[in-house]
Amino acid sequence: MSDINAFIDEQVKNNDVFLFMKGTPDFPQCGFSGQVAQILNYLEVEYASANVLESNELREGIKQYSNWPTIPQLYVKGEFVGGCDIIREMAQEGELQQLFADKGIKAKQAS
């Protein structure tokens, strides 16, 4: 396993919720990454993140790791959940909140 795959694997497995994004939660550098961070912040979910713009190796490595061509990518309890469109749709339908509940992750429930 390459160093980048080891790094990705470690982040995904050692954080309940992990977001690979362009930029940071406080300063997203892509609208799609910003939307996913905004959803997680709105749901008051604790999560860690990595800025794929800091490393071309990470940016390409995460696409191979997940076999998913776009960023952002959200992982919950070691499982790839999806990118922006999927996360947004899941949040609107209450499915994301249910996923967090099912996995024992504290999140604000839809009112």
Q: What is the total count of domains within the chain?
A: 1
User: Range of 84's domain?
Assistant: 3-102
Which helix (H) or strand (E) element contains residue 48? strand 48-51
pTM of the shown model: 0.94
Q: Does residue 107 form part of some domain?
A: no
Give me the CATH number covering residue 56: 3.40.30.10
What pLDDT score was predicted for residue 102? 96
Q: Does residue 14 form part of some domain?
A: yes
Q: Does residue 59 form part of some domain?
A: yes
Measure the N-to-C terminal CA separation of the chain; round to a whole number of Å. Answer: 44
31-42 vs 84-93: helix axis angle to the nearest 10? 30
What tens-digit pLDDT sequence spans the chain (111 residues)?
Answer: 579 999 999 999 999 999 999 999 999 999 999 999 999 999 999 999 999 999 999 999 999 999 999 999 999 999 999 999 999 999 999 999 999 999 999 998 765
